[in-house]
Amino acid sequence: MKGKIAKKAVLLGAGAGIVCFFIFGLLPGSFLGGVTGLNIAGLLFGYPVTSGILPRLIVAASMLLGIMVSGVIFVVGGGLAGWFLGTIIDSIAAPKAAKAEEKIKV
């Protein structure tokens, strides 16, 4: 019985993290990654950034990296929050369940 609620809460928290990522994290992750990519491309190739293939690849890769980092933060954060709340619920519910099982056995 111990840990069942915590395991379910981790999945629920990760699911909530995915939903929050799509609502709140996808666009800002893309923007922040794109700005970082522009800065990197500007440092390597000079300002203003030209429309060559390599600067575009740097910006695109940086945007994808920004989206992935944002997604990891949201999903792991949601999973950790779910695990924490599930563990608290388990610790509260476990003594009550043990007392109920003792009454059934006797």
86 C-beta neighbours (distance < 10 Å), count: 21
- pLDDT at position 102: 62
Q: What's the confidence (pLDDT) of residue 105?
A: 65
Cβ atoms 79, 10 nearer than 8 A = yes
Q: Over range 13-20, report the average pLDDT.
A: 94
Give yes or no for residue 104 having a pLDDT over 80.
no
| Tens digits of residue pLDDT in 22-48 | 999 999 999 999 999 999 999 999 889
Is the pTM higher than 0.85? The answer reads: no
Please give the Cα distance from 3 to 69 (Å, whole number).
29
Q: Go through 48-73 and write b for each residue having 16 or more CB atoms within 10 A of its CB, e for each that does not.
A: ebeeeeebeebbeebbeebbeebbee
The DSSP secondary structure of 22-87, one letter per residue, reads IIIIHHHHHHHHHHHHHHHHHHHH-SSPP--HHHHHHHHHHHHHHHHHHHHHHHHHHHHHHHHHHH
Chain-wide mean pLDDT for the chain?
A: 89
Quick one: pLDDT at residue 103?
65
Write down the pLDDT at residue 92.
Answer: 86
